[in-house]
Amino acid sequence: MPRELTILVACGSGVATSTVAQEAVKDICKKNGIPAKIVKSTMSEIQSKQEDVDLIMVTTNYRKPVKKPLIKVFGLISGIGMDKIEEDIVKTCKELLNL
């Protein structure tokens, strides 16, 4: 049985955009049969939380180095380039799960 991925979705304040993005990511994972648990945080919490997650998604630009794969998901909010982001998410998740 494949293990479950833990995905961190971060935005500036951890309020508006990460909440919307989190839901979009949840839908994408469900649709594509990817078992995932999604946690939300602010951008400044990324450094401390990255150890506990498999994958990081951000709604804004994040320039500090991270130890886990990082996907920019602003398009899930604006609706621009959504297909490409979905593709990226599915591909990255499947690689992490060795599917």
Partner 1 sequence: MSSKNVYLAAEGAAKDWKEAIQLCGKCMMEHGSVNQDFVNACIEREKEYPTGLPSEIPVAIPHSKAEGIKENTICFLRLKEPVRFLRMDDSEEYCDTRLVFNLAIREADDHLEFLQKLMRFVLDAGVLEQCNKLPLAEIPAFIEKELG
For partner 1, the binding residues (CB under 8 A) are 11-17, 19-20, 23, 43-44, 59-61, 72, 74, 77-79
Residue 1 CB, shortest distance to partner 1, in Å, is 29
82-96 vs 16-31: helix crossing angle, rounded to 10? 60
Q: Which is nearer to partner 1, 89 or 96 (CB)?
A: 89
Q: Which is nearer to partner 1, 47 or 78 (CB)?
A: 78
What is the distance between the alpha carbons of residues 43 and 35, in angstroms, rounded to a whole number? Answer: 24
- 11 labelled catalytic: yes
Annotated catalytic residue: which of 11, 38, 53, 58?
Answer: 11
Annotated catalytic sites, by residue? 11
